[in-house]
Structure 1
Amino acid sequence: MAGAVLLGLLLTAAALAAPAHAAGVPQPDGYRMSDYRSPTPDGVAGGETADTPAVQALLAQGRTVPVFVQRLERSTLPGGPWLQSKAYRQIPGSVWLPNVGMGAPDPATLAWFESQLERLTGGDRNRDLLFYCLSDCWLSWNAAKRAVLFGYARVHWYPTGIDGWMEAGLPTEEAHPPSPPPAVSPAP
């Protein structure tokens, strides 16, 4: 009897610890616009979902550009810098492109995202791109979907993100975003 109770407790704990993206959350037609830290779908249309071993294999090939998309506040001053109040960790070799996974980024951020992908891939739309954020984070899902719509053919989405990477005990490095996109002028 005690063995059956213990087995039941272990199965319940395993179910609770399972990633939320496995819960069958439907993919929206557009982008997720709010509540970015919530259960995510199983995949992204036009892209490939990757678990930690798949990400390791992609990175070992040396052709994958890992893109960290954690949100970051920005100064409201014209041309203002990112406001980074704490250190963030990323997969080694990643490029941090803040806010490109927002549901409705401003036109300057969209143009900046597209130009950054162009630069990072050398214009090769068949270059592997890996998008990630934190676990249960729609920002990476939105960014991956956006890259697919930009015409990139080899888009990978890592839904457990840096959290899954660190839980696996894999190395990280401190994240540093590049200069932000130009500020959008307020409407008159």
Structure 2
Amino acid sequence: MLPGAALSLCLVLGTAASYGGEGEVAEPEAYRIDEYRSPVPKTLKGARVIGADEAEVLIKDGKTVFVDVFPRAPKPPNLPEGTVWRDPTHMTIDGAHWLPNVGYGVLSADFEVYFKSRLAELTGNDQTRPVVFFCLKDCWMSWNAGKRALSLGYTNVIWFPEGTDAWQQAGFDLVKATPVP
């Protein structure tokens, strides 16, 4: 085999291994730890997947907890002394709870505790209560957070993979988010 042909074959096989079929992203066994803004699978094993119309029904019923996992921008470390830092505005679904930075593939011990304790608080310690995880379209953070909730024993995990992008596209409004302390 020619060297160029071998490289081409490796690239094709490597690409095919990361997809579940024609253009479909395969669901990985572990958390996604990089390239968070890239195509996501159509499924999250153990969770139900919904679109904007079903999300609207669930948010209106008031029984389902909506968790936005969009990351919070860090304060730049090299700001000149005396510079005022203002967090960028994040917009979310009205009634959702913003738990920033809990969708990374690897969480610090502090963020593990934050995720577990806030999720328990938001669900009233009821691991059967429906919880919707979302972020933006093609964002692995909501997939990771849903997978993490399943690993903690939550049994009614719902994933809204297109998140606020689909919400707005469906004609629904967003509101300014405040992180859950």
Q: Tell me which interval the TM-score lies in, with the shorter structure as reference length.
A: 0.7 to 0.9
Query: TM-score, normalising length from structure 2?
Result: 0.80
Q: 1:138 to 1:108 in 2, by over 3 A?
A: same
Q: Which runs of 4+ in 1 moved over 4 A?
A: none
Match of 1:144 in 2: 146
Alignment of 1:89-108 (within 5 A): 89-108=91-110
Question: How much identity, in percent, do the aligned residues show?
Answer: 38
CA pair 37-46 structure 1, distance change in 2 beyond 3 A: same
Give per-residue Cα distances to partners, 1:113-147, cap 9 Å, x unaligned. Answer: 00000000110011110000010000000000001
Give the aligned residue type for 1:158.
F
Q: Aligned AA for 2:60?
A: A
2:174 to 160, 172, 175: 172
The answer for unaligned runs of 5 or more in structure 1 is 1-21, 78-82, 180-188
Deviations 1:12-52 (A, max 9, x none): xxxxxxxxxx9420111100000000000001111010011
**In structure 2, C-alpha distance between the alignment counterparts of 1:91 and 1:173, rounded to whole Å:** 6
How many residues are treated as equivalent by the alignment? 153
Aligned-CA RMSD value = 1.8
Superposition deviation, residue 102 in structure 1: 0.2
Unaligned runs of 5+ in 2: 1-21, 78-84
Deviation at 1:86?
A: 2.0
Is the Cα contact below 8 Å between 1:135 and 1:163 reproduced in 2?
Answer: yes
Instruction: Measure, in 1, the Cα distance between the counterparts of 2:27 and 2:131.
Output: 20
Q: Which residue of 1 aligns with 2:28?
A: 28
- Do residues 153 (structure 1) and 155 (structure 2) align? yes
- Which residue number corresponds to residue 132 of structure 2? 130
Name the counterpart of 1:117.
Answer: 119
Q: State the TM-score, normalized to the length of structure 1.
A: 0.77
Aligned-residue offset at 1:75: 4.7
Pair 114,76 (structure 1): closer, same or farther in 2 beyond 3 Å: farther
| AA at the equivalent of 2:139 | C
